[in-house]
Structure 1
Amino acid sequence: MKYYEMEVAKAAKTLVEDIFRLKKGETFIITADTESDERVVNTVSQAAFSIGAKPMVIWLASPLGVGKAADPMLPVDALSEALKQADAWVEFNNKWLLYSTPFERAMSYNKKLRYMCLVGMDTDMMVRVIGRVDTSLLEEFLVKVAELTRKAKKMRIKTPAGTDLEFENSPNNPVSCDTGRADSPGMHMLAGQIGWAPVFESINGTLVFDGSLEPPCGLLKEPVVLTVEKGRVVDIRGGNQAQQFRRWLEGFNGPNMFRLAHVCYGFNPGAKLTGNILEDERVWGCTEWGLGYLSAADAPPEGIPAASHCDGICLNSSVWVDDIQILDNGTVVYEKLKRIAEKLT
């Protein structure tokens, strides 16, 4: 018997039947690269086939970058055409295709496509963040937090590591709520994250990544400290990884790579800090900030045009939504949310 052989089969069944709600005859594309967990890919394809769907697994050489930075190593036209014809697509690539040219072509052309980003998913993580999570209760909690956030005009986020940011929200920018469902057309993410684009020029203060930063650093050995003025990083301080991050941003020769793109809460009770950004940004009580590319759908009318995108994790966050404190050092303290949070964690 292999490690978690039965548990990962249950999680795969949950993914195809409860999350995607695949139907008999639907074309289900699974993309993976040479850094992906083959057991996850095979188990999910088997689960899809067992209910009468038509799985198509596409293995790719692992690109040297993510998003559009992956384009030079991708069979862009062939991959785009396949995705244009799919009913559903789950991405298990370790170097993600999200925001790449094939992704943009597929999402623009294929209005029926149900896409879910599960980049770097491995056997252990799949069991913890999908197979063992009470998805209905988590969905109830996430919806309540998202409603609070949509109504907020001003917010503040602090962490023990030194993050202290204030910003305003725009009613024109959507608040995404990843409840773990991928049964409707569009882009979907792993359950446990709520994200949005603030009013960019209103973001000011200090941002400290102390969990992970991907790309280019992965797990952080020491904090990366950013000074933010009007939504733009104007200074980067820290040790070797901070300098690595600075060089990575500068390597794109584009000022928009220094812009903050979005902020998210992390709320998946099974997630732990591993260096896989998909999981890291869902660690309970963290906040996550993205820099660089952002789609126009996330921040109308033009988003942020940039060559790539990265995400950094701020652990043990304290969050104020207008005058309401909902998190204190990563623990839910708002009375209307505490009961559900305690059941989940």
Structure 2
Amino acid sequence: MNPLLQNAADKLIREIFAVQPGETVVITADDDSDAAVVQAVYESAHAVGAHPLKVQMPTPRGVGKAADPDLALDALSGMLLYADVWIEFNHQWLLYSTPFERAEAQNKKLRYMCLVDFNEALMIRTIGQVETAQLRDFMLAVTERTKNAKHMRVTTPAGCDVSFEIEPKHYTACDCGDASKPGIHMLTGQINVVPRFGTIQGKIVFDGSVTPPFGRIPDAPICLTIENSVITEVTGGEDAAVFRKHLESFEDPGMFKLAHIAYGFNPGAILTGNIVEDERIWGSTEWGIGYVSPFDAPPHGQDAKSHCDGICLNSSVWLDGVQIMDEGKIVEEALAALVPPLPNR
């Protein structure tokens, strides 16, 4: 076993999930999952005295509800209804599938994390080599600063310049490496903000990966013109035209509405085309387009047939006119003092 991988698995189990002796830890995977990652987490859970269960299944043909026809729905649901922890390493993710919805609705103690397409290098970079406790303090401070602001502006060297109002009634999610409480958790290193609907104005330029339809960096930056939170123009290279057609293919005006913005703050994340990692690149911002859940934006959310995400690298951010980040570097003094060690690349 790779000792760096085992250390990362230990951090996931001990520091992030705070797994206790006697807890049931379900680890799901499909035939395209990384077996070494699954085994390392299984062994870490066993080492702390938990009861780990590895569940491997044939790779479903779709994700979410589209995976249902290929799942043992009742058997998998039954197991998850009694689990304390569920860590998902599936390639075709089960997030929003029927077993997921049943477990989240009925198992009020469940702590869940979706780690799609995790391999050894990704596990080591984004979990094993991250100072979780220090990063948590920094991210919580940024979250509070953002929640208490009324206005946010974001620019990038690629030409992004967008502003919006912050809606205090919308949920600001901070995935800061604490999955010790029941709920849905994601990989460490992202703060998600749902702006006040209808207030986003300016230009958003994706110079990192865009998923879907690509799952990679576009051939040229994709520029979105935004008026009142709606995309009115898409320009760039050939991929920009493909992206516009992708949005149009849903025949749903909701797919031209901006959904959310997120800060990327994982010190180990690099641009790979895997959106789970890319949207956590330090100093980036990520924009979601389309669907927003009622949980994130009560009471109704934002309806749309689907959702996609794009990355804006090296972001500068102002909150109520005060700059806190300059091209990916934290410049506000109090926040800068909390920044964890960053790798030299």
Smaller-chain TM-score bracket: over 0.9
Farther-moved stretch of structure 1 (186-195 vs 222-231): 222-231
Q: CA deviation at 1:68?
A: 4.1
Report the counterpart of residue 255 of structure 2 in structure 1: 257
Aligned runs of 1:14-33 on 2, under 5 Å? 14-33=11-30
- Give SS of 1:200's match: coil
Q: Which residue of 2 aligns with 1:161?
A: 158
What SS does the corresponding residue of 2:105 show, helix, strand or coil?
helix
- TM-score after normalising by structure 1: 0.92
SS of the aligned residue for 1:285 comes to: coil
The DSSP-based 3-state class of the residue aligned with 2:310 is: strand
The match for 1:175 is 172
Deviations 1:193-245 (A, max 9, x none): 11121112101211111111122211213212212222222222222322332
Look up the match of 1:193.
190
Paired position in structure 1 for 2:304: 306
Instruction: Please tell me the residue identity of whatever aligns with 2:119.
Output: D
Q: 1:308 to 1:65 in 2, by over 3 A?
A: farther
Match of 1:245 in 2: 243
How do 1:110-189 and structure 2 match up within 5 A? 110-189=107-186
Partners of 2:228 and 2:96 in 1: how far apart?
Answer: 25
CA distance in 1, matches of 2:31, 2:261: 30
**2 CA distance for matches of 1:80 and 1:308?**
25
Q: Structure 1 residues 257 and 13 mapped into 2: Cα distance closer, same or farther (>3 Å)?
A: same
- Contact in 1 for aligned 2:89/2:118 (Cα 8 Å): yes
Moved more, 93-102 or 320-329: 93-102
User: 10-19 or 254-263: which moved more?
Assistant: 254-263
List runs of 5+ in structure 1 lacking aligned partners: none
Per the normalisation by structure 2, the TM-score is 0.92
Query: Are 1:134 and 1:344, in contact at CA under 8 Å, matched by a contact in 2?
Result: no
Number of matched residues?
342
Q: How far apart, in 2, do the equivalents of 1:296 and 1:108 lie?
A: 15
What RMSD, in angstroms, separates the aligned Cα atoms of the two structures? Answer: 2.0
Separation (CA, whole Å) in 1 of partners of 2:60 and 2:258: 25
Equivalent positions of 1:7-86 (< 5 A) are 7-63=4-60, 65-71=62-68, 73-86=70-83
CA distance in 1, matches of 2:308, 2:205: 14
Counterpart contact for 1:69–1:308, Cα < 8 Å: no
- 2:206 is matched with 209
Q: Is the 8 A contact 1:27 1:87 kept in 2?
A: yes
- How do 1:225-244 and structure 2 match up within 5 A? 225-244=223-242
Task: Give the counterpart of 1:6 among 3, 6, 12.
Answer: 3
Alpha-carbon deviation of 1:64? 5.0
- Conserved? CA contact 1:146–1:194, under 8 Å: yes
Structure 2 partner of 1:287: 285
Write the letter of the residue equivalent to 1:308: S
User: Quick one: which amino acid aligns to residue 338 of structure 1?
Assistant: A
Distance change >3 Å, CA 64–CA 305, structure 1 → 2: farther
- Match in the other structure for 1:267: 265
- How far apart are the structure 2 equivalents of 1:288 and 1:78? 36
Distance 1:71 1:210 in 2: 34
**Is the deviation greater in 291-300 or in 57-66?**
57-66
1:322 correspondence with 2:330: no
For residues 156 and 264 of structure 2, the distance between their equivalents in structure 1, rounded to whole angstroms, comes to: 14
- One-letter code of the match for 1:304? Q
Aligned residues of 2:32 and 2:90 also touching (Cα < 8 A): yes
**In 1, Cα distance between the equivalents of 2:76 and 2:253?**
30
Q: Structure 2: 5+ residue runs without aligned partners?
A: none
Distance (whole Å) between structure 2 residues aligned to residue 308 and residue 74 of structure 1: 22
Cα separation, partners in 2 of 1:25 and 1:212, compared to 1, 3 Å: same
Q: 1:158 to 1:77 in 2, by over 3 A?
A: farther
